[in-house]
Structure 1
Amino acid sequence: MTDALSTPAPARPSSAASPRRLTLAEQSTELRIAIMRLSRRLRQQRSDTEISGSQFSTLGWIHAEGPLTIGRLAELERVTAPSMNRTVNCLVDAGYVTRRTDDDDRRKVLVEVTPAGDATVKETRRRRDAWIAKRYAALSPEDREVLARATTILGRLNDQ
């Protein structure tokens, strides 16, 4: 498999006098493609490849937020409650989460991470951090500074 970060970008047509500036739409498209490719590569760095990306995302929410209801998980993942229930069923079957009745409101069912789920999230995060850190360390200090600024900007884009 070729490393997407070390593969040169395809050459753009340019005139001999001066290269054509990309339009805002073209820049947006290139940014989207780069983010999607990077995201795909990071998603591949999971410790358990048997669960889907959406299942891992749900597991990550529960790990980060603590016990959550199916309804809250559905809101966070922007899916319907029945769809989230199917996702949680898969995670229960895999041994990564359990369901329990809320101590304060016996009508509520909470989903919480098991020790196996906790270990899977932590190992996946470790792998993803190692993958990106290796590539980040190979960059020049100038490129790392650009990425530090871009990280802040991408955060703002995500919050809009």
Structure 2
Amino acid sequence: MAQAPRTQDTDRDTDAVVDVAAALRLSVTRLARQLRQQSDAGLTPTQLSALAAIERHGPLSPGALAEHERVAAPTVTRVTTYLAEQGLVDRMDDPDDRRAALLVVTRAGRDVLRRARTRKDAWLSARVARLDAEQVATLAAALDALEALTELDDEPPEAARR
């Protein structure tokens, strides 16, 4: 199927999208790095993310956790072994498959997550409180779009592949 010729406006629109995406990537990366530093949970970002995923979606099989976290099976094995050694997750028999195990967060694991979230929320709230009212309103208005970005599939649109 033949594509319609590109117009100058379309090119300008594409350039604007690329510029916004680049600025957003930089800001989100910096903010995520700063938030990770606030958790003080004694866990790596990968371990903390896995623990949160098990809490949010659990009980989970190691394979399902690998899918949620988009990591390889050996990474999940290493991470969950450490979390289990620390008493943050337990393994239980899968009622549908006695050969398999499911991962569940322990009370200690929930406490670690609660403390990490509380510290991160306090840090971010203090930063947001320093913004003016218009900036806070802009952030609030952008939340739906940011959430939508996290829910898009992994296939990039045609324009992003060029």
TM class by shorter chain equals 0.7 to 0.9
Contact map agreement 1:96 1:114 (CA 8 A) in 2: yes
Q: Pick from 25, 33, 53: which aligns with 2:18?
A: 25
Cα distance in 1 for partners of 2:127, 2:75 equals 36
In structure 2, C-alpha distance between the alignment counterparts of 1:24 and 1:72, rounded to whole Å:
34
Q: Residues 88-110 of structure 1, C-alpha deviation per residue, up to 9 Å, x if partnerless?
A: 11111222111121234322201
- TM-score normalised over the length of structure 1: 0.79
8 Å contact from structure 2 (residues 87, 108) kept in 1: yes
Query: In 1, distance between residues paired with 2:51 and 2:67?
Result: 14
Instruction: Decide whether the 8 Å contact of 1:69 with 1:110 is kept in 2.
Output: yes
Structure 1 segments unaligned to the other structure (5+ residues):
1-21
Q: d(CA) in 2 for partners of 1:109 and 1:67?
A: 9
Cα contact 2:92–2:102 (8 A) shared by 1: yes
Runs of 4+ in 1 over 6 A off after TM superposition: none
Count, aligned residues: 138
TM-score of the two chains, using structure 2 as the length reference: 0.78
One-letter code of the match for 2:41? Answer: D
CA RMSD for the aligned pairs?
A: 1.6
Q: Does 1:151 align with 2:134?
A: no
Q: How much does 1:83 deviate?
A: 2.1
Describe the SS at the equivalent of 1:68.
Answer: coil
Q: Give the structure 2 partner of residue 122 of structure 1.
A: 114
Rounded Cα–Cα distance in structure 2 between residues aligned with 1:27 and 1:110: 41
CA shift for structure 1 position 24:
4.2
Distance 1:38 1:96 in 2: 27
CA distance in 2, matches of 1:99, 1:92: 8
Residue of structure 2 in register with 1:45 after alignment: 38
Aligned twin of 1:19: none
Alpha-carbon contact 2:62-2:102 (below 8 Å) kept: yes
Higher helix share: 2
What SS does structure 1 have at the residue aligned with 2:98? coil
Contact 1:70 1:81 (8 Å CA) reproduced: yes
Counterpart residue number, 2:11 = none
Deviation string, structure 1 residues 109-131 (Cα, Å, up to 9, x no partner)? 01111111110001111111111
Q: Distance in 2 between matches of 1:80 and 1:108?
A: 18
